[in-house]
Amino acid sequence: MNSPLLKLDCVTKRFRGLTAVDRVNMTVDEGQIVGIVGPNGSGKTTTFACVSGFLRPEEGRVIFQGKDITGLQPYQIARLGISRTFQIVQSFEELTVLDNVVLGALKPDEANHSISIAEARNRAAEIIDLVGLASDARKLSGSLGIPGRKRLEIARALATRPKLLLLDEVMAGLRPVEVDQAVEIIKKIRDRGVTIVVVEHLMRAVLALSEKLYVIHHGAVLAQGIDPREVLGRPEVVDAYFGKATLDA
C-alpha cells in the first residue's frame, strides 16, 4: 500500500566506456535514513547526480512520490523536494554563514512560491541552530573550519525545505567526536520529517544511522539489508571492500 518516497528502477549511467551506475534498484521509504557505502569510484556520487538531475541516466527511471522525475532539470527536482549536498563544499565564502543559509531558504518551492526575506532569515536562523552553527552565524563562511563548513553545507541543503535530503560524505575529515555530533544532527533532521540518504565512508556513522544499507561496487548494488552490521559482514562485502579492522573501528 505504502509506496516508497524514492525509487530507482534499473538506473544506469555511462561515461563513454565506463558504466558508473549499473542497473541500480533502490527504494527509500518516507522517514527512513538509508545508507550507501562502497569503495572510491563505485558510483555513489553519480547515483546522487542521477536522482538530483545533475546527470541524466541512459537507462532506468527515478520515481519520486510516485512521479517519474527522470531527466528533469536540477531546479525542477529541487522544487519537488529533493536537496543534495556536494562532496566539494560549495558555499559563498564572502557571505556570512547566516546569509548563505538565507539564500537557500529563498529558493521558490514546488508551487513556485517564494517567501519574504524576513521569513527566510527566521527559517535560516532556526536551521543554523539545529546544525549547531548559531555562534558562527555572523562569521564569513570562508572563515569556518572543516566541521563548520560541513554543517553549513547541510544547513544550506535543509533551508530549501526538502522532503528528501541526499548527504554526500558530509562527515569526511571530521574527528570521531565531531562525527558523533553530525550523527545526532542528522537524526534530529529526520525527526523533523525529512527522509535522508547518506553516502558515507565512515563506518561509525554508517552503523549509527542506517536503517537500511546499500553496498555499491563497480556501479552495481552488491548487497542490501536493514541491519548495517550484518550487511557489512557478508563475505562478498568484506571481499569487495572492507577488512574486519575497518568494521570494528
Ligand X SMILES: Nc1ncnc2c1ncn2[C@@H]1O[C@H](COP(=O)(O)OP(=O)(O)OP(=O)(O)O)[C@@H](O)[C@H]1O
Residues in contact with ligand X by the rule CB under 6 A: 15, 18, 20, 38, 40-46, 87
Q: Phi first, then psi: give them for residue 24, nearest 5 degrees.
A: -80, 125
Q: Which residue lies nearer to Mg ion by CB, 38 or 60?
A: 38
Residue 139: burial class (beta carbons within 10 Å; 0-12, 13-18, 19+): middle
Strand 6-15 and strand 18-28: the pairing is: antiparallel
3-state SS string over 2-14? CCCCEEEEEEEEE
Would you state the cell numbers that stand for residue 234, as one nine-digit string? 557478508
Binding flags for Mg ion, 1-20, as an x/- string (CB under 5 A): --------------------
Shortest reach from residue 189's CB to ligand X, in Å: 22
The 3-class SS string of 149-181 reads HHHHHHHHHHHCCCCEEEEECCCCCCCHHHHHH
* Residue of 32, 42, 45, 100 that binds Mg ion (CB under 5 A): 45
User: Is residue 47 involved in binding Mg ion (CB under 5 A)?
Assistant: no
Q: How far is the CB of 154 from ligand X (least distance, A)?
A: 17
Whole-number minimum distance, CB 15 to ligand X, in Å? Answer: 3
Q: Report the interface residues with Mg ion, using CB under 5 A.
A: 44-45
